[in-house]
Homo-oligomer: A and B are copies of this chain.
């Protein structure tokens, strides 16, 4: 009853506009307060139109009942979608979220979260994507997200 996670190491995906290493360096420089070595985000893989991001488990995000907070997962989904958009259009940091819908499906485990994003549509001004979030090591979906990003006009 799940969307199967993409098998790591499969190389049929097209190369992204920005290689993972370069993208991570640009993100760290542009968003020092949001993405840095201690943030818990790890961009594991990037391909054209998609990516996989791991968010380390953190006691700070735990809610009563042992679940992880909704906002933790919303922020992860938004960040992963952002990386997926950049993977297809290159370094356009002013791309912004216009809308996001998240469905929480299953209580996550006390482990890292793995988010996988793929673009469903890429236009000149809008990109629409889907993000699947799972607990590390588990095939079941913890949350399912669809989101739209606005791409600002780019002067060449």
| Chain B residue at minimal CB-CB distance from A67 | B96
Cα distance, A102 to B79, chains bound together (Å): 15
Could you say which of B2, B120, B121, B125 contacts A120, with CB atoms under 8 Å apart? B2
Instruction: Tell me the number of copies of this protein.
Output: 4
Q: Count of chain A residues with Cβ under 8 Å from any Cβ of B?
A: 46
Whether B100 and A34, one on each chain, are in contact in the complex, defined by CB atoms closer than 8 angstroms, is no
Given contact pairs A1-B118, A49-B1, A75-B74, A99 touches B97 in the complex (Cβ within 8 A): no
- Are B120 and A1 in contact, with the CB atoms below 8 A? yes
A101 adjacent to chain B (CB < 8 Å): yes
Q: Which of the residues B70, B75, B79, B97 comes within 8 Å of A97, measured between beta carbons? A: B70
Residues of B within 8 A of A31 (CB): 63-64
State the A residues within 8 Å of B (CB).
1-3, 30-31, 33-34, 49, 60, 63-65, 67, 69-71, 74-75, 78-79, 93-94, 96-106, 118-122, 125-126, 128, 130, 141, 144, 146, 148
Given contacts A1-B49, A103-B121, 5 further A-B contacts (CB under 8 A): A1-B118, A3-B130, A74-B100, A101-B146, A146-B146
6 A-B contact pairs sorted by A residue (CB < 8 Å): A3-B3, A31-B64, A71-B74, A74-B78, A99-B148, A130-B144
